[in-house]
Amino acid sequence: MNKKVGVGLVGSQFVSTIHAESLKLVPDAALLAVASPTEGHAREFALHHDIPHFYTDVHDMLALKEIDMIVIGAPNIYHCDITVAAAKAGKHVVVEKPLCMNLAEADRMIDACKQANVKLMYAEELCFTPKYVRLKGLLDEGALGDPIMLKQSEKHDGPHADHFWDVERSGGGVTMDMGCHAIEFFRWMLGRPKIKSVYAQMGTYLHTDKTRGDDNAVLILEFENGVIAVAEESWTRRGGMDDKAEVHGTKGQAYADVLQGNSILTYSTEGIGYAVEKAGNTVGWSFTMYEEIWNYGFPQEFAHFVDCVKNDKQPLVTGEDGRAVLEAIFAAYESAGTGRKVYLPFQTDADKPYKLWKK
């Protein structure tokens, strides 16, 4: 492909803003269109990001021949149908996490993209986060010896969009929303060995008036190579995003803090306009971010996905990876619901993960 990769965005809320800002930093990408069911949101988003076309129906956007790739930032419940429609239209697909609502949908998406000979790419930015890329490099070069245990945590006070709180549209709570990050992080760090078992504890502690999903969870994964991985996920942390990882090996250990190590320690009696994602109150001490989306790895992620489309390369994170993550998420909800360790492969006909927890 000699031309720039034409990109269409599906969604006009928080994550689509990150997608738009990231794609602006990718020279080979041309951001051509956005689709959102609310006309006012679509028009405003297009004007703000200087996008030439906006649509209220994603199928109309898919008919635009200049579009080569779409990025889905819509609610989880729509991921599958939009992916299948995009594949039929001959568009490559980037899907925000989690891949979809259940394993049957995952298989449908993977099959549709294979049949249409388009790429299905899974947007897990932790595989591109600069500090985590360096952390993986330390492990890969043998500086830490053989891995024994990995940890990853992501914590804040809850999601931006209403649909995350609704388990019928999201599929679950914080485990579905953010546990997916940790699971793919572990798989990527270790070279994607198979997951042997999952054990999880989860509950709803703070947001009982907002959701029937879990707002705090701990997951323990055992991989076939014997490595143990621990994920801590929470919607109960005040003061902004917390994103950390640890690797413990036979010859050393390493710790990575994505945000606080890249921030400006700030004290203000008045509060500041914006400090970091999910920081609701900036009066007093706060960690003020700069180059926030770069520190997360979003521009690097989209540069990679655009390159895969432009030069027909294999994506680092695929639909099959998204399905493997989703299988572990279902196993986690089953574990939390039954109080036992769940072994993989795990098969279920449940249409949403939370139903295995609250039977």
SS (H, E, C) 63-105: CCCCCCEEEECCCHHHHHHHHHHHHHCCCEEEEECCCCCCHHH
User: Would residue 312 count as lying in a domain?
Assistant: no
Residue 65 lies in domain = 5-126
Phi, psi (5° rounding) for residue 259?
Answer: -105, -50
- Verify that 120 and 80 share a domain, yes or no: yes
The pLDDT tens digits of the residues spanning 110-154 come to 999 999 999 999 999 999 999 999 999 999 999 999 999 999 999
Of the listed ranges 16-30, 193-207, 257-271, 337-351, the least confidently predicted one is 257-271
- Verify that 133 and 27 share a domain, yes or no: no
Q: Which of 126, 157, 172 is the last residue of a domain?
A: 126
Structure tokens at 292: 């926030």
CATH number for the domain spanning 21: value is 3.40.50.720
pLDDT, residue 155, reads 97
Mean pLDDT estimate for the chain: 95
User: Would residue 354 count as lying in a domain?
Assistant: no
Element (DSSP H or E) covering residue 320: helix 319-338
pLDDT score of 302 more than 90: yes
In Å, how far are 44, 199, 250, 334 from 202, measured between CA atoms?
39, 10, 31, 11
- Verify that 98 and 115 share a domain, yes or no: yes
Q: What is the mean pLDDT of residues 13-22?
A: 96
- Verify that 160 and 280 share a domain, yes or no: yes
Determine the residue type at 79. H
pLDDT score of 358 more than 90: no
User: Would residue 179 count as lying in a domain?
Assistant: yes
In a 13 Å sphere around the CA of 269, the CA atoms on its Cβ side amount to 0
pLDDT, residue 281, reads 77
- Verify that 54 and 164 share a domain, yes or no: no
The pLDDT tens digits of the residues spanning 169-192 come to 999 999 999 999 999 999 999 999
Residue 244 pLDDT class (50, 70, 90 cuts): very high
Q: Contact, 331 vs 221, CB < 8 A? A: no
User: Would residue 316 count as lying in a domain?
Assistant: no
CATH number for the domain spanning 276: value is 3.30.360.10
- Verify that 187 and 49 share a domain, yes or no: no
pTM for this predicted structure: 0.93
- Verify that 333 and 199 share a domain, yes or no: yes
- Verify that 138 and 45 share a domain, yes or no: no
In Å, how far are 16, 78, 164, 322 from 82, measured between CA atoms?
15, 6, 18, 16
Residue 259 pLDDT class (50, 70, 90 cuts): confident
Order of strands across the sheet that contains 69-72? 53-55, 29-35, 5-10, 69-72, 92-96, 120-123
